[in-house]
Amino acid sequence: MKLMKDMLDRIGIKKFMCSLNLPEKGPNRGYTATQTSECFWASIWIGAGRFSHSAH
């Protein structure tokens, strides 16, 4: 996981995603769109086969 985190930091994906017009965190959402995307990528990297297998 550290290697994946280092790769994402090196390519600047978080900065890029923050520049997009993504939905803002609201009262019904505890996580930002960027955090949700990062969690989804991490779950895919560790073997989740479906979106329902991923968790924050």
Q: Which of 16, 17, 3 is nearest to 45 (CA)?
A: 3
Give 5-46 pLDDT, tens digit per residue: 888 889 888 888 888 888 777 776 778 888 888 888 888 888
For the cut 80, the answer to whether the pLDDT of residue 3 exceeds it is yes
pLDDT category of residue 2 using cuts at 50, 70 and 90: confident
How much is the pLDDT for 10?
A: 92
Site of tokens 């930002």: 32
How much is the pLDDT for 33?
A: 82
For the chain, what are the domain ranges? 2-21+29-47
With vertex at residue 35, the alpha carbon angle to CA 38 and CA 2, rounded to the nearest 5 degrees, is 45
